[in-house]
Chain A
Amino acid sequence: MTTELLYLLVAGVSVLVVAAIFFVGLRSKTRAKTPPAPEAPPREVPAPEAPVSEAPAPEEPPAAAVPPAPAPPKISVADRFSRGLAKSRLVLSERLNLVLGKDRLSEDDWDEIEEALIRADVGVKAATKIVTKLRTSKPAVSELKAALRDEMVSVLSGRQRQLAMGPGVTSVWLVTGVNGVGKTTSIAKLAHRMKAEGSSVVVAAADTFRAAAIDQLGTWAERVDVPMIRHDPGSDPGAVLFDAISYAKARDIDLVIADTAGRLHTKTNLMDELKKIKRVAEREAGSVAEVLLVLDATVGQNGISQAKTFQEAIEVSGVILTKLDGTAKGGIVLAVEQELGIPVKAVGVGETLDDLQPFVPGEFVDALLADS
């Protein structure tokens, strides 16, 4: 390496190193301290500080739960479901079937099982954990299949998967995620489902950033036949949500579902913006009933990084796993559920309004272990 390059590197990087050391130090301090003096009151709250309606204490009235899409009424939905998630119910991948049917499993066979999980994006760590547990429990050969399935289902068991309504008249669901995962489409599906179940819904076009994002949601709102609150492109997303909540409260509308611009979790400023948006909702509606993170089933190990960062920033209450109608299995949600405890609350299995399904751990695992 030439000296010049070394110099350049030293200079370019040094400031970052200093900055990094600074922030590592500052962070550990400021966390404990009172929150840093807020800079200028959030612009997005035009109205005078409305008295914050009592934020519900955590253990307060059990948030009214929405039944998990009880057997959706239309037949087409069942069709789609079979086309999507459950298309291969209990049909193990051929290779896996072969391995699991043997009298005795060799090292290679165990590797094969582990690899089946890795191919589904479960991740090396989680896959190894599952296989190790399976090996130590020494199930009878005839029960191996069931044991593998049970082991995985148990990772996903015992979680509350119903989409919640808040204690107030108007509830807010905030839909977030990285770019292009299916937030806007999922909102349309959610609005459609809630409306079918008798709730009144308004959607908030709080992605004011991406080109034509407002029109995209607008088209969906028309199709679903729910009102949409919009501002101009480029305007403050918090203000859109503020207006949507005011609109809903004035008309006793049950649910506000807010779209947000896709953002990579690594962009601190955009994550800060998201925190602000959430604060607006909390202030205006008392609480946010659901903070939903949309994960694309095609995502690899980065999914866990996404979930972690969004979780830290805005306390995610549930995941919507989209695009399960392809060959991707979405195995990363095993890690998301196990490590972060965030439940998957719905899955997307297509591009039309009916393509939203409840997440059923057993069916998910079956599809994961099946051939694509």
Chain B
Amino acid sequence: MAADGPYNERMFEVLGERLEGVFKRLRGKGRLTEKDVEAALREIRLALLEADVALPATKQFLAGVRARAIGDDILKSLTPGQQVIKIVHEELIRILGEKESAIRFSSHPPTVIMLAGLQGSGKTTAAAKLGNHLKKKGRRVLLVAADLERPAAIKQLEVLGEQAGVGVHADHEAKDPVVVARDGIERGKMQADVVIVDTAGRLHVDEDMMDQVQRVHDVISPDEVLFVLDAMTGQDALLSANAFSERLPLTGIVLTKLDGDARGGAALSAVTVTKKPIKFAGVGEKLTDLEPFHPDRIASRILGMGDVLTLIEKAEEVVSKEDAEKQAKKILEASFTLEDFLDQMQQVRKMGGIGDMIKMLPGIPGVGKLSDVDVDEGDVKRIEAIIRSMTPQERRDPRMISGSRRSRIARGSGTAVRDVNDLLKQFDAARKMMKQMSRMKPGKGRKGGFPL
């Protein structure tokens, strides 16, 4: 999505504000000099480094932005800061790959996929997730357990393979992963369309282990060689990705653990040195927690904007468009009731934990950074119990809830009157807030504006 939607403006705020500050000083000068651009670039550099983009990758990236910013007459724009951000965002997306890229299947099955990376990056889990994904697409999958180093690594893959309902080739007595891998491919030729080879985690400076992974590669000639990278990785991502790509003809990257709050700058580092696309994102520990990679989302994330697009996608899964419009209208008219709130809480539950969802929001003026909001499932349950103990009329018009009604509701929900009071007060405050927000025209005023 282009960086010109009204909510994007808010999402870019953090970096945007800094940049506006830079450009304010330049106003009235008429022409933008190279030095002015430098000042803006320093802010961007900071943002990237804070997001864990490796220093060399940051420098290379900034060179690209510098060239574009100077060519572009950004000072003519009323909001040069936003203009620069737009360039930065587009440039990020360009490098990370304009669009998703998928697995390349071999014309001579089985398609062989090999996973490699550092210890604990998520290879085994990714192997099983991919197997699960491809099985659902109707492929016959065989996982191959070629990690003979980590204790119980074979068992781990066997358990996950069973969960996914795909075959696992394993040899508990084996000593050489090259042999296991070769045998796995042989077996795959007879019973699978896709063979996925899990390998041991290894440090890129461990020569023996790097030789080994190369030998595994040579014996299985994979169609896909995926480097599995932990999204929380810092500066080291560039070095490790580089070393792996020097030893193995990588075809892509799997970025794991994106369900946390890491900004994910490692993605840019790895893509910069390997020049290979990120093909999948791991977003949880369950087998279904694998998604195609969306460059635009990680670009926003690196720049410190909330992951609003993921949120929309999740909402789309559980909310129909008609419902969504109805609810949106209610909110804009501030006729949102406790009943609606209960409904929506349940919908959000279906999307995932309420706490996790809230964290994806980019922040609300006056409330602050939402990633710091700490949602206790106990609180959620209590709120639900309280609302359930109200009559439908009460839910629609909380103002009618008198003292005696309050104690009845408290009794009914097994909570204290104080809890009921709190909830009513909070709801009232929230409704006022909604009213305020709906009065603000979207797209106007970056100051107090809500991201919508």
**Are the C-beta atoms of A12 and B319 separated by less than 8 Å?**
yes
Residue from B356, B368, B381, B426 within 8 A of A266 (CB atoms) = B356
Residue from B5, B230, B321, B451 within 8 A of A8 (CB atoms) = B321
Residue from B203, B324, B373 within 8 A of A12 (CB atoms) = B324
**Are the C-beta atoms of B332 and A298 separated by less than 8 Å?**
no
**Are the C-beta atoms of B152 and A216 separated by less than 8 Å?**
yes
A298–B378 alpha-carbon span in the complex (Å): 35
**Are the C-beta atoms of A302 and B232 separated by less than 8 Å?**
yes
Q: Cβ of A25 < 8 Å from any Cβ of B?
A: yes
A119–B54 alpha-carbon span in the complex (Å): 7
With A12-B311, A21-B367 as known contacts, state yes or no: A212 contacts B49, CB within 8 Å. no
Contacts of A299 in B (CB 8 A): 232-234
Residue from B158, B377, B434 within 8 A of A268 (CB atoms) = B377
Among A76-125, those with CB < 8 Å from B are: 115, 118-121, 123-124
**Are the C-beta atoms of B422 and A25 separated by less than 8 Å?**
yes
Contacts of A168 in B (CB 8 A): none
For the complex formed, measure the closest distance between the CB of B312 and the CB atoms of chain A, giving whole angstroms.
Answer: 6
Contacts of B205 in A (CB 8 A): 325-327, 372
Among B137-163, those with CB < 8 Å from A are: 149-153, 155-160, 163
Interface string of B144-188 (1 = CB under 8 A from A): 000001111101111110010000000000000000000000000
Interface residues on A, range: 35 or more
Contacts of A118 in B (CB 8 A): 49, 55, 235
Q: Cβ of B273 < 8 Å from any Cβ of A?
A: no
**Are the C-beta atoms of B240 and A326 separated by less than 8 Å?**
yes
Closest to B437 in A: A17
Residue from A11, A121, A297 within 8 A of B315 (CB atoms) = A11
Of A11, A120, A265, which is in contact with the most chain B CB atoms at under 10 Å from its CB?
A: A11
Closest to B327 in A: A11
Partner-binding segment picked from B210-218, B256-264, B400-408? B256-264
Partner-binding segment picked from A26-34, A55-63, A237-245, A282-290? A26-34
Q: Cβ of B98 < 8 Å from any Cβ of A?
A: no
Q: Cβ of B226 < 8 Å from any Cβ of A?
A: no
Among B252-273, those with CB < 8 Å from A are: 257, 259-263, 265-266
Contacts of A329 in B (CB 8 A): 236
Residue from A272, A301, A327 within 8 A of B52 (CB atoms) = A301
**Are the C-beta atoms of A8 and B52 separated by less than 8 Å?**
no
Closest to B158 in A: A212
With A22-B426, A36-B382 as known contacts, state yes or no: A267 contacts B356, CB within 8 Å. yes
**Are the C-beta atoms of A212 and B232 separated by less than 8 Å?**
no
Q: Cβ of B417 < 8 Å from any Cβ of A?
A: no
A179–B316 alpha-carbon span in the complex (Å): 29
Q: Cβ of B355 < 8 Å from any Cβ of A?
A: yes
Interface string of B416-429 (1 = CB under 8 A from A): 10100011011101
Residue from A233, A265, A272, A325 within 8 A of B377 (CB atoms) = A272
**Are the C-beta atoms of B332 and A10 separated by less than 8 Å?**
yes
24 cross-chain CB contacts under 8 A: A12-B312, A17-B361, A17-B434, A22-B423, A23-B374, A23-B376, A25-B425, A30-B379, A36-B382, A39-B378, A118-B55, A178-B232, A178-B260, A179-B122, A216-B153, A266-B259, A266-B356, A296-B230, A300-B234, A323-B203, A326-B204, A326-B205, A327-B205, A372-B205
Q: What 9 pairs between A and B have smallest CB-CB spacing?
A: A300-B234, A180-B120, A12-B315, A15-B344, A300-B52, A219-B151, A11-B324, A215-B152, A211-B159
Q: In the complex, given contacts A13-B308, A121-B236, what are 10 additional A-B residue pairs having Cβ atoms less than 8 angstroms apart?
A: A13-B452, A18-B427, A20-B361, A20-B367, A211-B160, A269-B353, A300-B235, A302-B52, A323-B118, A327-B205
